[in-house]
Amino acid sequence: MKKILAVTGCPTGIAHTYMAEQALKSAAEKAGIEIKVETNGASGVENPITEADIADAIGVIIAADKDVNPDRFNGLPVIEVPVKDGIHKASMLIEKINSGAVAIRKSAKDNSHLSEIHNQHASKESIGRQIYKHLMSGVSNMLPFVVAGGVLIALSFLWGIYSADQNNPQYNEFASLLMNIGSQAFGIMVPIFTGFLAYSISGRPGMVAGFVGGLIANITGAGFLGGIIAGFAAGYLMLIVKRLLDGLPRAFEGLKSIFIMPLIGIFVIGAGMFLLGGPIAVVNNGMKEWLASLQSANPILLGIVIGGMCSFDFGGPINKAAYVTGTMLLGEGNYYFMAGVSAACIVPPFVIAFSTTIFRGKAFTEEERAAGLVNYILGSTHITEGAIPFAAKDPLHVIPIMMFSSAIAAVLTFISHIQVPAPHGGFLVLPLVNKPLIWVGCIFIGALIGAILLGLLRMHEKGKSTVEK
């Protein structure tokens, strides 16, 4: 039997990764083709592809928005697509690999120009797509630090907002320990992001220079914006250095990788960030101050913007832009912004859950109702991606409904002055929210409005299709 290999991976490694895995397996089963799918999820690589698997494969499907070590498949027909294509176009990808009309993936050594080293598949991937993958690789590796560190910081507040201050009557030793651990994890999110962004571009040499660039971005106040600049600069600088040193004898390989490249990378990126850190910090602080002012001056406009961003691509880059902004402001002690972001991210799965419950057989199939029940759990735990299967069926109608619903929840949250000190967790962090019941109410109001609109839309479509028959 023909055997196809596949690799799936999304930035957070929670939902898209496994949805793509299931879709590819189902498509392969229908086509009567054996498939092995390696998942690069939040818990690491599962069902890893071995050398024996590669030797037996007729081709590889890489449906990922992060670095999944594609070089191991050099010499095989390889399709590289976003993880969402693995979910929505699984049958087409299987058919394409099976047809034998897929180009062989070549190694960087086969290319003669520097531009081809970091753009081996320029004909297949746009520059924007490559930049997105590198960014998401950084975000993917940063999120566990943000979530774990942020939740520990939030838990310390259970003993009082000043419980980590030894000079305050609220001081508690265990709360102080939680604060210190959480602050350390939370504090290195920019270096981690920057290091893995650079690693996605040029491997370990890039990671070393990128990590140092991220540390200096923290020191100078350049923050996340400085981290993005340092990450890309480190990654592409090390590609150039590596190219320039390719002519050295093999005997100098150890010296090159351990001494020469790290020394050049750390010095150049470090010096550059110390020079640029100040100006970038001015821009960075200006953006945060503008958002903070908008939060109090025009919460309705801010809620509309945040709600639209969070539900536009369900965990994609626009959603992540809002989420990362929230985590950065969280680190500055602004807990209002994250309350709106979290509410907007939680709403979409609840729209599905409420709609499939309220309208049931009138608008949804038995399979959709079962999926709707799962969305109660996904919504409660801040997993926006649960809405993807429904949005994928009718994106032009469903996505606007989701954006409208999330915007309502975010606006109500900002107007109510709700504070959420944890960057993730959904309803699991309710004990840490200053107005937990009101926050849940804001979310449910937005979700119920969206659920009714979605149910009415589906009933209209169902009635229309019945008339046409």
Quote the pLDDT of residue 435. 92
Higher pLDDT, 32 or 386: 32
Given a cut of 90, whether residue 179 has pLDDT beyond it is: no
Greatest mean pLDDT range, 269-283, 358-372, 384-398, 435-449: 435-449
**Who wins on pLDDT, 65 or 50?**
50
**Does residue 12 contact residue 315 with C-beta atoms inside 8 Å?**
yes
**What is the model's pLDDT at position 114?**
39
Instruction: Verify whether residue 442 is a known catalytic residue.
Output: no
Torsion region of 382: left, alpha or beta (phi above 0 gives left; psi -120 to 50 gives alpha): left
Q: Which amino acid is at 313?
A: D
pLDDT band at 415 (very low <50, low <70, confident <90, very high): very high
Instruction: Report the candidate in 424, 444, 399, 436 with the shortest Cα–Cα distance to residue 152.
Output: 424
Residue pair 344/438 in contact by the 8 Å Cβ criterion:
no
Strand order in the sheet with 34-41: 44-46, 34-41, 3-9, 59-64, 78-81
Question: What's the CA dihedral at 321, 322, 327, 333 to 10 degrees?
Answer: 140
pLDDT at 93: 93
Q: How far apart are CA 170 and CA 392, in angstroms?
A: 50
Chain segment 263-300, per-residue pLDDT in tens:
999 999 999 999 998 898 888 777 767 766 776 678 88
**91-116 confidence digits (pLDDT tens):** 999 999 988 888 888 765 554 443 44
pLDDT exceeds 70 at position 167? yes
Evaluate if residue 392 carries a pLDDT over 90.
no
Is 217 within 8 Å of 223 (Cβ atoms)?
yes
Specify the pairing of strand 34-41 against strand 3-9.
Answer: parallel
DSSP 120-162: TTTTTS-HHHHHHHHHHHHHHHHHHHHHHHHHHHHHHGGG-TT
Instruction: At 249, give phi and psi (nearest 5°).
Output: -60, 155
Cα-to-chain-centroid distance, residue 59: 27
Q: Which residue has the higher pLDDT, 171 or 314?
A: 171
Contact 353, 319 (CB under 8 A): no
Q: Are 67 and 133 in contact (CB under 8 A)?
A: yes
Domains of the chain, with CATH numbers? 3-117 (3.40.50.2300), 127-284 (no CATH), 298-468 (no CATH)
| Beta pairing partners, 36 | 5
Average pLDDT over residues 315-325: 71
Q: Could you say which DSSP state residue 222 is in?
A: -
Q: Provide the pLDDT confidence category of residue 162 given band limits of 50, 70 and 90.
A: confident
> What ranges in 313-394 are assigned the alpha helix state H?
317-331, 335-358, 366-380, 388-393
pLDDT: is 43 or 74 the higher one?
Answer: 74
Q: Which of 10, 310, 345, 442 is catalytic?
A: 10
Query: Residue 428's pLDDT is what?
Result: 78
